Structure 1
């Protein structure tokens, strides 16, 4: 009888389930049964998209639905790592045991370098994207998130799918980013397996990205590439091999 693969609940980044993460799941299909736990998307009200406590509660409920008892394994990328960590803490408080907690290139919210708080962000972008990002932030701050959200289908009809996808990502990025404001990172009574991008565009970041203050132990693994390129074709096979090796032990202990 073939033994079932260990199940891992996977929380995606700020843009949701994107091709790179799907490629990673496919590459690791021999090692784990991934269950995607996505966040409220653009079809939901903006207040729900930027409600971090609600996002975490939704993730925890989904985990309970699929895995009602026993040990659970959780992984998260970027923004999803923040959700994964908070969900793991909540599950522990509820008496559930967390086996694997894997975080992909996400900085603890408490992290500071040279006395300055370091926020989670993508790699540096060009001037056009920067201007669009600032405009999106101003519209959200001005209370126009809902009209902007509802306008996305019309933008696609007039300017094409790439324009609507770009607007969707900007809106999600800024709404979900705002959800972290004021959130206090808890403490996880266990080990974090931290996969850190080898290329960091901010100098002086500690290897643990600030997570040691919030858990019993951090086991760091450096991956090839930057935050946005970890799972691209040129890095996928090598990084998947490193990930497979790093998660094998905690998954086998959790089975």
Structure 2
């Protein structure tokens, strides 16, 4: 598209720029101006971009409190150190590098960055104490103001500023602000550690979180425990076990003495060929310090959906064929992925009707997609379930060649047939978030008519179709703006995003995997959202002869008629589980342990009941 339309300027967060630069189509691309902001720009990435493309690369810096970008530096590829300088201030802006007593530091000495100028915000709405803490009197200009960024920088003799890190333990990983103290708290909350320290270390591919821990009895279970507590961006890329944390003579933690992580993996050695190749790519994407072995799980080792997209691209570059995103989701363990690639299975873009997100020996949980048609949202839940396969069912509307379903019940009948085929024996567990819950209840009715035993049927903050039948028809841009909600952003907070280009640009700038889908897949997601309104309005629930488990987002729907009891006419029994969250937070890392525990308890109980009756 950039070549076709002669685009002359593009703007990326550096992690997305890395993904863009690594695509074969980017080689030799001519773009007049490429802007990078949102996180530190690694020197290695800048050099790679300048070597692969004919561009001018500009590194920008600036917090929201100062009208976004306040410094700039054009990368030459000759910079030294870990990251490209953030440069010098733009017009009408001032930068002070000060010590703890607000005195200027000498050139080359690290200090705290303060910003001045007309573009400073007035303060934080409704937070006078925080405003007073961060917006301070300018000690050098009577009556002036300055903003404390909390960033540690160094200024060269010519005024060029280089970012060194955060003063308060807050770091940016792929554009996401993370408090290292929160990660340390999550590590200790597992009960597996005596002590934990987390820091960000710059690498060739940007900042990575590293954790140094003093374990109680090993760290084997730590990865899974963290995955149940933290989002992917907050999981350390490497965990370094120590017998004790290093201390200074006065008893304080000696951060400078923390050892560099070493890439060691337990278990058998890597097999030559595909396993060795994947180990190299895993290390490249997860950080060279990450221990890689045949049993390394890409996601538990710090991978996420964005890095999974990059992994498929790198495998295609190295082997000439892409395994597809579904291969990474379904077989993230290195040895399993190597076998899948060796079997020369057809590539799968992760948008097919069935997506296996975890494996195990117990009866599977079938999770039905929300309105956007994609089941990727269940990957975190899949990791939190113990020894339980989670199979996501995705919408046929993602395929442009598939006809529109006549009714929601027809769609549910097709899903019931697929579920019965995938699990010909044993109890059937179903779940669905939002729209997925309506389809799960309808599919359970069809399975019951076929004589199948339904175990748990969980409706994740879903409400009957009657709640939506008389809602106003959505406007033409509603499906497009629904992409924001699917990606976890509040559409109401961004009224300026009204067309496809603006919305996708917003999502790409924030590294959202949804924005990396091919155009035909995005068309499918939008089509699925559009059809959802029609299907729900025309649906009439049948009565299910078993138990429905309704999981309610307790902090949402205040002042509305939405409540679990609305399902009473459509089930023999209704159970409820209330979680302290909003609708969009139900599958988040914070709620995942409680949600997984509730679902596992319900499935285990229903399996015992099924075994007793048979």
Same fold (TM over 0.5): yes
Q: Distance in 2 between matches of 1:249 and 1:26?
A: 21
Map 1:27-106 → 2, pairs under 5 A:
27-28=384-385, 30=386, 32-45=388-401, 47-48=403-404, 51-106=407-462
Alignment deviations for residues 180-234 of structure 1 (CA, whole Å, 9 cap, x no partner): 2221111001110111112214524354151011111110001232111111223
Does 1:7 find its partner at 2:364?
yes
Number of positions where the alignment pairs a residue of Structure 1 with one of Structure 2? 222
**8 A contact 2:365–2:431 mirrored in 1:** yes
Question: What TM-score results when the alignment is normalised by the length of structure 2?
Answer: 0.33
Q: CA 1:42 to 1:6, structure 2 compared with 1: closer, same or farther past 3 Å?
A: closer
Q: CA shift at 1:6, angstroms?
A: 2.1
Q: Distance in 1 between matches of 2:437 and 2:496?
A: 24
Map 1:186-197 → 2, pairs under 5 A:
186-197=542-553
Q: Counterpart of 2:399 in 1: which secondary structure? A: coil
- For 2:569, the equivalent position in structure 1 comes to 213
Alignment deviations for residues 99-135 of structure 1 (CA, whole Å, 9 cap, x no partner): 22111110011348xxx9579x9796325388559xx
Does 1:161 find its partner at 2:516?
yes
Q: Distance in 1 between matches of 2:496 and 2:403?
A: 24
Question: What TM-score results when the alignment is normalised by the length of structure 1?
Answer: 0.72
Higher helix content, 1 or 2: 1
Map 1:241-252 → 2, pairs under 5 A:
241-252=597-608
Q: CA shift at 1:78, angstroms?
A: 1.4
* 1:20 counterpart (361, 365, 377): 377
* 1:125 counterpart (469, 491, 506): 491
Q: Counterpart of 1:221 in 2: which secondary structure? A: strand
Q: Distance in 2 between matches of 1:181 and 1:207?
A: 19
Which of the pair has more CA radius of gyration? 2
Q: Distance in 1 between matches of 2:426 and 2:528?
A: 33
Q: Counterpart of 2:591 in 1: which secondary structure? A: helix
Does 1:181 find its partner at 2:547?
no
**8 A contact 1:106–1:209 mirrored in 2:** no
- For 2:11, the equivalent position in structure 1 comes to none
Alignment deviations for residues 141-178 of structure 1 (CA, whole Å, 9 cap, x no partner): xxxxxxxxxxxxxxxxxxx7379576654332121232
Q: Distance in 1 between matches of 2:438 and 2:533?
A: 11
Q: Distance in 2 between matches of 1:99 and 1:247?
A: 7
Q: Distance in 2 between matches of 1:191 and 1:214?
A: 10
Q: Distance in 1 between matches of 2:375 and 2:423?
A: 24
Higher mean C-alpha displacement, 172-181 vs 235-244: 235-244
Q: CA shift at 1:4, angstroms?
A: 3.0
Q: CA 1:180 to 1:47, structure 2 compared with 1: closer, same or farther past 3 Å?
A: farther
* 2:526 counterpart (170, 174, 181): 170
Q: CA 1:85 to 1:132, structure 2 compared with 1: closer, same or farther past 3 Å?
A: farther
Q: Distance in 2 between matches of 1:185 and 1:204?
A: 21
Structure possessing the higher relative contact order (Cα contacts under 8 Å, 6 or more residues apart): 1
Q: Distance in 2 between matches of 1:107 and 1:131?
A: 28
Gaps of 5+ in 2: 1-359, 473-481, 501-514
Q: Distance in 2 between matches of 1:199 and 1:106?
A: 14
Higher strand content, 1 or 2: 2
* 1:232 counterpart (576, 579, 588): 588
Q: CA shift at 1:5, angstroms?
A: 0.9
Q: Distance in 2 between matches of 1:233 and 1:215?
A: 30
Q: Distance in 2 between matches of 1:94 and 1:194?
A: 24
